[in-house]
Chains A and B, each alone.
Chain A
Amino acid sequence: MDRFSRRRFVAGLAGVPALGLAGQLPAASMIHNRHYAKLNIQTDVRQQPVGSDYALSVGALPVNYTGRPANAVAINGGIPGPLLRWRQGQTVTLRVANRLGVDTSIHWHGILLPSNMDGVPGLSFHGIRPGEAFAYKFTLKQAGTYWYHAHSSLQEAKGVYGAIVIEPDRPDPAAADRDYVLLLSDWSDEDPHAIVRKLKIQSDYYNRHKRTVGDFIRDARRDGLGATLNDRGMWGRMRMSPTDLADVNGLTYTFLVNGTTPAGNWTGLFKRGERVRLRFINGSAMTYFDVRIPGLEMTVVAADGQPVHPVSIDEFRIGVAETLDVVVTPMEDQPYTVFAQATDRSGYARATLAPRIGLEAPVPALDPRPILTMADMGHGDHAGHDMSGHAMKMDASEAPRSTQPAAVSTHDHEAMNHGGMDHAAMDHAAMGHATPGHAAMDHSMHGAGDSTAAMVSHPASETGNPAVDMQTMTPSRALDDPGIGLRGNGRRVLAYADLKSDFDDPDPREPSRTVELHLTGNMERYVWGFDGIRFSEAEPIRLNHGERMRIVLVNDTMMEHPIHLHGLWSDLEDESGAFHLRKHTISVPPGHVRSYRVSADAIGRWAYHCHMLLHMELGMFREVRVE
């Protein structure tokens, strides 16, 4: 970090004086966490001054998170970059200088702004070339917790991210005695492009928990040989693995809180009885976290920066790029562990809330690794899930389904032939592949609170497409599934159903139309897309300025995908089609459909993509063009 001394930093600024920003840099962003990081303590958010003019510099940074030296890319010499504390209504200016040998960019995630300030190179601006700088300027229409990150060539995975806190222009109902950002991320000593290459060559490279002969014997003893063979047969016909929970995991990732390893133990201080606000941001490249603070109830007050009706929980899952504000009130004079385990249980990020520095609380053991079921991917038997509320809603009124785990559609007819089950008959033809206009979805599907969609139809472009290895058949529209590995764990786990915006539908007009998109991929080939089509071969999605429309996402993969629309809010609908929750990133679990409304209130070319960074890179990306 010392390579980015204040002197060099200022010198760099002076080199491009035309923008006239030198000297207006808030002190906090200069010192950043160079002093605090060493102590692993972050100051309270409110000790950072509210700034309006920032100078940011993206450059190489040698780091050592794992005992081995590695190369990161950082903003102002720190990971994460400086906390940007703004005030709603203010106009902010950020001059971003590129000290790398390659192009860079910064995108302000979730911030409403003119599209040419959005920072997606090649889409909304030209990027920032080596040695050059770009001045971003925009007026803040919103308040809350957000973040910023690079949008160039996987640089985000190498450390180019930081937190944004925008103070509301009116008294904050969630105001607390302490206010901390906890930015979760995943660090790898490997270059993200090297990770991509490994996955392209061997897509299960990081999956070292595949089922073995020993597991087969154990399952056969427990469930019987026939059932076990049946189960193995179904996965075998799909050519998939139920242990494929994360493409990239703790084998290569070290999970960080505010740039600090679990051993480093980032610590936030409190006094007994104080209200402590924790602003969680998932700035990971590829990791969903399940977060809890043993001994403390958390009250969620905001999601993706927007206020929600307060809801008390023990644990939440946070998708990549989502933010969640919670308030805790520790009543004991003791340390508490903030435990954020990766959803595949390959590791965890950890922090501590403590009354005094140096205290630690026990770190819980990782939960057992979940095993995916056919139901998780929307293949029939949802009742096999467990005791989650969502499973209970599914009854005989649904579309016909097998009581056994169902057959699956793998685009490969020989696979279907082995199924011999109900769904096998419902092959492509019957599933509406012949219907060209899948995008024009019938609105009646949104009625009546039926949480389980009937059989979905799939776009013709998925059929026989090497980029599509799976299709869901009877996906759920439910919002109340806590998620794979969290169901029935005895804790109160947050689900989207529990998150309700603390305001009425900001645009109550009925959507004029529905665009349905399917999230697709082929894990084996490691390609991703929408409707089986990768970004560079796809047309933009066109919206008319001013229209209120609906997007329906159907997950045709076995992965959960956090889908982020730049520049426009994504207003999640509940199961009956009513406004439920305003977000900037909507997570779509496997076997699920998510439906949300979009008001096209900002013209421009907006990025729309999966925020699993490698999925985005490999095609799960679209341009949304508002004209």
Chain B
Amino acid sequence: MTPPAFALLAIAAAGIAMPASAQHDAHHEHPAQPDASAPPVADPHAHHGNAMPAPASQPQSPSPFPAPTPAERAAAFPADLEGMDMRAHMDDNPLVAVFRGDRLEHGDGDALGWDLRAGVGRNFDKLWLRSEGERRDGRLEHARTELSWSRATGPWWDRTIGLRHDAGSGGVARDWAAIGVQGLAPYKFEFEATGYVGTAGRLAARVEGEYEILLTNRLILQPKLEANFYSRDDEDNRLGKGLSDASFGLRLRYEFSPRFAPYVGHVWTRCFGDTADLVEAAGHEAGEHGWVAGVRFWF
């Protein structure tokens, strides 16, 4: 990741912290400490369907316990009760930051490929900065940088919205607004699908799926499929409409720890339709494959 990208992340991280804590405070307006003298009935402000029902649905013989004295009440519900807040001692929505390299690899033809992301967020909301791309012979072939916000919409799925910036030597940079889903599909497939709206009415879509096959608990084979779609030809960037390109990778990694795993793999990529024509016209192969070696990590 480039230094400007890190700077962007830092700004973004500062940005997320504020709304997240503001949200936290907002949540805390109703709950824990209503007036201690309030009658013990369900809080009318209950907003999560979790309020307890009003007591005594059945008659019960009188309490055998002596009623609390005023002194006992004062001790149990001190006047400064309102100042009490457990969250300084217990955090059920912690801020967590991670830097993750799903791919950082060297390939045939002196190619360097990467797929790096930095994320920061709480239980259900996270901000991600992701950079995915390839350099070959010292030249940036292409790079896709996405800044996205993910929000959990169910136990396994997040909705994402964000911005994408495409760059590459010899092409024209494009910017997109993005909306998508990511999550864990049944059978534990990691899946991500994003739709993009670009300038001048361009549309694009991208899907990614991957799976983990445990040969052992350390030796893991990961098939991964990616595909890109565009709504119209973009000759400047040698992209045709429809399914433009897809790649399938098989990577075999050895996890020294879940946070550090070198791998070797083989990757097949292929351009389709008009994209293939444009690529071939420029003197490149429409389909290629090659070996990669790299490292997967997070910290």
Give me the interface of A with B, judged by CB distance under 8 Å. Answer: 103, 105, 114-116, 120-123, 126-127, 151-153, 196-197, 200-202, 204-205, 208-214, 233, 236-237, 239, 410-412, 414-415, 418, 436-437, 439-440, 459-461, 464-469, 507, 509-510, 512-513, 515, 522, 524-525, 527-531, 533-549, 599, 601, 603-605, 616-619, 621, 623, 625, 627
Q: Which of A116, A466, A541 contacts B124 (CB 8 A)?
A: A466
A239:B32 contact, CB within 8 angstroms:
no
Closest-CB distance, B137 to chain A (whole angstroms)? 35
Q: Is B19 an interface residue (CB 8 A)?
A: no
Q: Which of A120, A525, A537 contacts B48 (CB 8 A)?
A: A537
Closest-CB distance, B79 to chain A (whole angstroms)? 12
B76:A116 contact, CB within 8 angstroms:
yes
Which residues of B are found within 8 Å of A546, using beta-carbon distances? 62-65, 67
B32:A540 contact, CB within 8 angstroms:
yes
A512:B56 contact, CB within 8 angstroms:
yes
A524:B155 contact, CB within 8 angstroms:
yes
Which residues of B are found within 8 Å of A601, using beta-carbon distances? 63, 65
Q: Which of B20-61 contact A (CB under 8 A)?
A: 24, 27-28, 30-32, 36, 40-43, 46, 48-53, 55-61
Closest-CB distance, B142 to chain A (whole angstroms)? 29
B92:A619 contact, CB within 8 angstroms:
yes
Question: Known pairs A466-B155, A539-B51. 19 more at Cβ < 8 A?
Answer: A122-B84, A196-B94, A204-B258, A209-B217, A214-B216, A439-B53, A466-B124, A466-B153, A507-B64, A509-B60, A509-B61, A512-B56, A525-B152, A527-B92, A535-B90, A536-B28, A543-B40, A546-B65, A547-B55
- Which of B52, B60, B84, B184 neighbours the largest number of chain A CB atoms within 10 Å of its CB? B52
Q: Is B96 an interface residue (CB 8 A)?
A: yes
Q: Is B186 an interface residue (CB 8 A)?
A: yes
A510:B58 contact, CB within 8 angstroms:
yes
Q: Which of B52, B93, B213 contacts A542 (CB 8 A)?
A: B52
* Top 8 A-B pairs, shortest CB-CB distance: A546-B63, A122-B86, A466-B152, A236-B187, A604-B76, A619-B92, A512-B60, A469-B155
- Can you spell out 29 A-B residue pairs with CB atoms less than 8 angstroms apart? A114-B72, A126-B80, A208-B217, A208-B218, A210-B217, A239-B184, A412-B154, A414-B186, A436-B49, A439-B52, A439-B53, A461-B48, A461-B50, A466-B153, A513-B56, A524-B155, A529-B92, A535-B92, A536-B24, A536-B31, A542-B41, A545-B67, A547-B55, A599-B65, A603-B72, A604-B76, A616-B90, A618-B92, A627-B77
B89:A522 contact, CB within 8 angstroms:
no
Which residues of A are found within 8 Å of B78, using beta-carbon distances? 116
**Alpha-carbon gap, A116 to B59, bound state (A):** 31
Which residues of A are found within 8 Å of B31, using beta-carbon distances? 536-540
Q: Is B174 an interface residue (CB 8 A)?
A: no
Which residues of A are found within 8 Å of B49, using beta-carbon distances? 436, 459-461, 531
B55:A542 contact, CB within 8 angstroms:
yes
Closest-CB distance, B154 to chain A (whole angstroms)? 6
A212:B187 contact, CB within 8 angstroms:
no
A469:B156 contact, CB within 8 angstroms:
yes
Q: Which of A213, A469, A522, A603 contacts B73 (CB 8 A)?
A: A603
| Chain A-chain B contacts (Cβ-Cβ < 8 Å), number | 230
Q: Is B169 an interface residue (CB 8 A)?
A: no
Closest-CB distance, A235 to chain B (whole angstroms)? 9
**Alpha-carbon gap, A440 to B51, bound state (A):** 12
**Alpha-carbon gap, A599 to B60, bound state (A):** 12
Which residues of A are found within 8 Å of B43, using beta-carbon distances? 539
Which residues of B are found within 8 Å of A605, using beta-carbon distances? 76-77, 81
**Alpha-carbon gap, A414 to B189, bound state (A):** 13
Q: Which of B42, B46, B55, B184 contacts A544 (CB 8 A)?
A: B55
In the complex formed, the residue of B with least CB distance to A193 is: B94
In the complex formed, the residue of B with least CB distance to A622 is: B50
B88:A412 contact, CB within 8 angstroms:
no
Q: Is B91 an interface residue (CB 8 A)?
A: yes
Known A466-B155, A522-B155: A239·B186 in contact at CB below 8 Å: yes
- Which of A466, A512, A525, A623 neighbours the largest number of chain B CB atoms within 10 Å of its CB? A466
B76:A237 contact, CB within 8 angstroms:
no
Q: Is B98 an interface residue (CB 8 A)?
A: yes
Which residues of A are found within 8 Å of B7, using beta-carbon distances? none
B75:A114 contact, CB within 8 angstroms:
yes
Known A210-B214, A537-B31, A544-B56: A617·B90 in contact at CB below 8 Å: yes
B55:A202 contact, CB within 8 angstroms:
no
Closest-CB distance, B135 to chain A (whole angstroms)? 28
Closest-CB distance, A468 to chain B (whole angstroms)? 6
Q: Which of B67, B96, B152, B218 contacts A197 (CB 8 A)?
A: B96
Q: Which of A201, A536, A547 contacts B93 (CB 8 A)?
A: A536
